[in-house]
Chain A
């Protein structure tokens, strides 16, 4: 080779030979779990910079962990949002309701009342608490695991269940897979099955709000696995270029179905650290600490509202249950992980905090949990009166063709007639009574 000094080794003659690194999670089924490698800084130890600060000043926060609730169940440090006990109880109530809802709907799927469900167990704080830090008309662009936002915003449970059952009460007319909710009234964007697409859309919404001189901001949620999608890069780039009033919430629950976070890059860096390369403000937060979740989201919301720019928040948490009703996590991870998770359970931690400050007790907690379960059960019964999946109580066939376009073009009109004709052929005596 001409570019090689005489006598030196040939370029490319490296030893050892190249080898491909394929990430492997620390624990597989049957393994004893030891999470001691996860660094858990003391609650209250992270500084709270000014909301309008330069992202460059926040470097350490992108690698640290903002925590408020300590081992003593008390709130510590500059990130303590100092919420009054009523607000804290409300937060706990929304989280308990979210958990009760998940339990019931999971069971409903197992009973064959619907085709599919996804729980958010262990991640309730990342939606409920974060959502409480926003204004009710701030636009949220969630993924499929933020049902806590709808519950926090007061979306009627019966609407959620109608959607899950695809029944005649379903506002989305049975078109969408269960849990792909939409509520314009609650500033909750229509959920898509395609991962991360909502993240640059949220940026666009925020840009529009800024273009119009509005005061509303946008927030989006995405799992750590989906940050690998190109759309997430688009979102970060557009957010920073236009200084869009948006919050990019990354829920790092360690697992993307069966793939651990290493396949999204977690072996080398944090997800909050992605912010640094874009010039975004980056925060890494204990996602099981409801107060820290609230405080971080509020910080980012204030920053966005002040035209000081977008923020990327990594919520460090754990997906306590399977990915969905179609998933069995015992096939790929140790069952011990959930109990060994060093950041505990968000509901328990908030409950213990309220007890520690003398504003709550086990008796009231038990009563609240019971009431939540009873309420969900009652509403489920109401929703079931509208039908469950496959039991014939659904929207008329013709509605399948509506809303593809604003108006029905000729080819869809012809196809709608065909569908109706097929129904009439199948049921010549008229449609069966519901």
Chain B
């Protein structure tokens, strides 16, 4: 992994070797954004004095004061709604929802309000908010600390959905989200907050600092939304993934000696369709991997797009490896998680066809 992670980072390599895990990178992005723009405010449950249950906002209240970084009542509808109101005033709120599993009370405000504000007011009012929320499983989080609800948001016109897979990306993408004038859902794969995860849950996790993607430049930089990241290059097949699964598929391919064109999508809406098309047209085979449940998951959209746009280049049916269509179980987590066996078999099937 270290070898491929290096390719991404020519700019970073030229700078000092400051290495951060994803939590520190997110914290750094918030710090940089708040330092640059007085209108950026951070709010959510436990984000203020305490610095967040995952430490993503640690130290920010002390540095920027209580009117820019503050704790909120336990009320996700209220958190999103007041952020919408603040956006209408002219601020750039960055609300946090403690777990993506708890974003649902705020859905009406996100779907009916934040996503529609610009459209229904013909641009008079906008909702330039970035909703940060830890998501994904693999941490024995059970039913309500493991979900991957991205497909709910990608289905909403007017919302952007962004998911980083490395500390370097997390900072650059988050700064872009905060500066973007559209509402963005920024899902943070909490399984890889501290280090990339291979999917081999019985092996110890290596901390981010051992990987080049943890080299995070100081200060301001952005990664554009809507651009995928080429993780590895290969001719055998294209693998589309995001978040934690990027690292799992990379480990599986390395293990199996498969040379895959792995694309970390980074932004689901707007999607980098050009990069996807170019890759599938070259490889002729496509595997889609996500942790979220299968039916009507984002993989279905990806599969349809690839089939519609690359049909005559395909040499095998597009495959999806996903979580099962059940609530996320606690004790059977690793039976549920789309791990190396499920991914490996799907790769074998695609390559055999």
Contact = CB atoms under 8 A, between A and B. Distances in A.
Nearest to B112: A194
A194 B77 contact: no
A234 interface: yes
Of A176, A241, A403, the most chain B CB neighbours within 10 A belong to A403
B157 interface: yes
B158 A184 contact: no
A310 to B, nearest CB: 13
Interface string A393-409: 00000000001111001
Interface string A202-214: 1111111111100
Interface string B103-127: 0010011001100111111111110
Interface string B123-165: 1111000000000000000000000000000000110100000
A413 to B, nearest CB: 10
Interface stretch (B84-92, B201-209, B320-328, B343-351): B84-92
B119 A205 contact: no
Contacts, number: 146
B212 to A, nearest CB: 31
Contacts of A409: 226, 269-270
Contacts of A406: 118, 126, 180-182
Contact of B89 (A193, A208, A241): A208
Contacts of B121: 172, 182, 184, 190
A61 B88 CA distance: 33
Contact of B122 (A189, A207, A238, A403): A403
Given A190-B125, A406-B118, A411-B270, A207 B82 contact: yes
B273 interface: yes
B78 interface: yes
Given A203-B85, A205-B86, A231-B108, A190 B226 contact: no
Contact of B81 (A171, A176, A182, A234): A234
A207 B75 contact: no
Nearest to A141: B85
Interface residues of B, number: 47
A231 B112 contact: no
A405 B113 contact: no
Interface in B314-340: none
Contacts of B88: 139, 189, 201, 204-205
A237 interface: yes
A233 B81 CA distance: 12
Interface residues of A, number: 47
A241 B73 contact: yes
A150 to B, nearest CB: 14
A89 interface: no
B41 interface: yes
A400 to B, nearest CB: 10
B92 to A, nearest CB: 10
Interface string B10-54: 000000000000000000000000000000010000000000000
Contacts of A287: none
B125 A182 contact: yes
Given A205-B89, A410-B270, A403 B118 contact: yes
Contacts of A122: none
Given A209-B89, A230-B77, A176 B120 contact: yes
Contacts of B91: 208, 211-212
Contacts of A231: 77-78, 81, 108-109
Given A176-B120, A231-B81, A237-B75, 11 more contacts: A182-B124, A189-B88, A197-B113, A200-B78, A200-B109, A201-B113, A204-B82, A211-B86, A404-B158, A406-B180, A411-B270
Interface of B: 41, 67-68, 72-73, 75, 77-78, 81-86, 88-91, 93, 105, 108-109, 112-113, 116-126, 157-158, 160, 180-182, 226, 269-271, 273-274
